[in-house]
Amino acid sequence: MKPESGAEQDGGRAGTGQLDLFGSQGDRHRYDSVEHVAGEMERCLKCGLCRSVCPVFAEVLDESGCARGKIALIEALYEDNLTLSRIFSDRLSKCLDCKSCMEVCPSGIKVDELVLAARAEIFKRGKFPFLKKLVFRHLLKRGNLLPPVGKFAAFVERKILRGLPPSSPYRMLLPLVKIDKDRTLPVFAERTLMDDFGEIISPKGKPRMRVGFFIGCSTNLMYTDIGKAVIRVLLGEGIEVVIPREQGCCGVPVYTSGDRRTGTELALKNIKAFEKYKLDAIVTACAACGAALKRDYGTILGFRENALGTRVYDLNEFLVEFSDLDFDTGRRNPVNVTYHDPCHLSRAQGITEAPRRVLDAIPNVTFTEMEEAERCCGGGGMFSFSHYDIAKEIGKKKVSYIAATGADVVATSCPSCMMQLKDMLNRNGLPQQVVHIVQLLASCYPRLD
């Protein structure tokens, strides 16, 4: 249960290549065109089961919304019966990558790989917005530009936008960048998580383990409290935390939009960043980042053996495996909590039990399960920005289930879901607070000095 600490073995940076990563790149561009997924398309039985679970189809009521319709479109493109048009791109962009269809598909079709291969094809043929390409290739890839941009946004928010009425002309400008003027967005932090912590953070006494912390962009730049809570919990567990400075965006927004090349470069950058250290495990509190590191680097980007992924744990999963989760049950104010399963934790990683075990262990939490807790919230990363009208309808259903529990707090395990849930609750006039599980759990551990 408690492995020997890597910190004990090397006393600092290891550089020993404990993670065996570089014999494993394989033909990593396997899924960069529809030609490579032709076999998958052939296996579709046209049964339509995917329609019954697809949150996009439920709103658009158009065949192209569900997996069967998308497969038919991709097949037509592959067989040259269709030209790659703006309409085709739009139809293929209407997928949350929620993987609900894959759960019910009798043929076990890898819908995610098919859709992403089609998007890669769109990207390759140049049918891709220039601005997005600019952001992917220059902002996300060169991760060192992100913190200054985030800090500038924090400055503008603090000095100019805060306190302005909702009708202010500044808010009216948001639609110009395709953001609804009434949308609730998280604010950028004045200091990133990396600004506040060194590369290696040691607990009091001899560490029992040494783990790498994959932070993720939203936790580093916006939801820094989540990152602080993760560090508090791990240190409280007697675990040394390593935050490699060279880590960057996990690549999800990039390769799910079709830019495989930049996605692969980001993956390699992260692999190298963590490969430098001797670590017992790598932990993340972001469901989307976890699914990328564990799964997509292998399946989507085509690394034949994803050795990094085998060391990655979602925080809930890690704690259930390596902690006793046994806390003092002294008096605390009770909190009524419900839980939303992020698609990238439940379906992409198969983790549903661990977050509930963690919630159950927190002494002051009273848990109420919501109806369809695993139903997608409608966020889908970039989806809610490009298809806010559909995201709003999907989110409305989700928050009605939250409200029906009577809970005061909705916990989840993904910053991206938090963004969508908070916006949807506000939009529907509901008062529930949205937190990451680790923010509730952190109160069970000593404060950070």
Binding site for ligand SF4 (CB under 6 A): 44-50, 53-56, 66-68, 71, 95-101, 105-107, 109, 111
Q: How far apart are the C-alpha atoms of 294 and 311, rounded to whole Å? A: 8
Query: Cβ of residue 33: shortest distance to ligand SF4, in angstroms?
Result: 20
Query: What phi and psi values does residue 338 have, to the nearest 5 degrees?
Result: -120, 170
Paired with 281 in beta bridges are 211
User: Which lies closer to ligand SF4 via its Cβ, residue 103 or residue 246?
Assistant: 103
Nearest to 4 by CA among 280, 188, 256, 274: 280
Closest CA to 286 of 446, 437, 115: 437
Which residue's CB is nearer to ligand SF4, number 53 or number 77? Answer: 53
Closer of 67 and 243 to ligand SF4 (Cβ) = 67
d(CA 171, CA 185): 12
Residue 108: CB minimum distance to ligand SF4, A: 8
Contact criterion met (CB below 8 Å) for 384 and 378: yes
Q: Could you tell me the smallest distance in angstroms from the CB atom of residue 116 to ligand SF4?
A: 10
CB of 47 or CB of 161, closer to ligand SF4 = 47
CB of 27 to ligand SF4, least distance (A): 25
Least spacing, CB of residue 57 vs ligand SF4, in Å: 6
Alpha helix ranges (H) inside 157-311: 169-173, 193-196, 217-221, 224-236, 252-255, 260-275, 287-291, 297-299
Q: Which is nearer to ligand SF4, 362 or 414 (CB)?
A: 414
Instruction: Pick the closest to residue 215 from 196, 239, 238, 237 (CA basis).
Output: 196
Rounded Cα–Cα distance for residues 297 and 98 (Å):
17
User: In this complex, which beta carbon is closest to ligand SF4, that of residue 96 or of residue 282?
Assistant: 96
- Return the closest-CA partner of residue 118 out of 147, 151, 146, 82: 82
Q: Looking at beta carbons only, is 45 or 161 nearer to ligand SF4? A: 45
| 403/417 with CB nearer ligand SF4 | 417
Report the amino acid identity of residue 384: S
Q: Which is nearer to ligand SF4, 85 or 107 (CB)?
A: 107
Q: How near is the Cβ of 390 to ligand SF4 at its closest, in Å?
A: 10
Q: What is the smallest separation between the CB atom of 104 and ligand SF4, expressed in angstroms?
A: 6
- Residue among 212 and 290 whose Cβ is closer to ligand SF4: 290
- Alpha-carbon distance of 52 to 201, in angstroms, equals 48
What is the nearest approach in angstroms of ligand SF4 to the Cβ of residue 250?
19
333 burial level (CB within 10 Å; 0-12, 13-18, 19+): exposed
C-alpha span between 289 and 436 (Å, rounded): 15
Q: How many helices (H) and strands (E) does the chain have?
A: 24, 9
Q: How far is the CB of 306 from ligand SF4 (least distance, A)?
A: 21
Closest CB 347 distance from ligand SF4, rounded Å:
9
The nearer residue to ligand SF4, 97 or 423, going by C-beta atoms, is: 97
Shortest gap between Cβ of 213 and ligand SF4 (angstroms)?
Answer: 29
**52 vs 368, which CB is nearer to ligand SF4?**
52
Q: How many CB atoms lie within 10 A of CB 12?
A: 11
For the CB of residue 351, give the shortest distance to ligand SF4 in the complex, in Å.
18
Question: CA 96 → CA 260, 379, 388, 395, 421, distances in Å?
Answer: 18, 8, 12, 12, 15
* Ordered alpha helix ranges (H), 81-145: 86-93, 100-104, 111-124, 130-134
Euclidean distance between CA atoms 221 and 82, whole angstroms: 42
Host H or E run for residue 256: none
Residue 273's SS3 state is helix
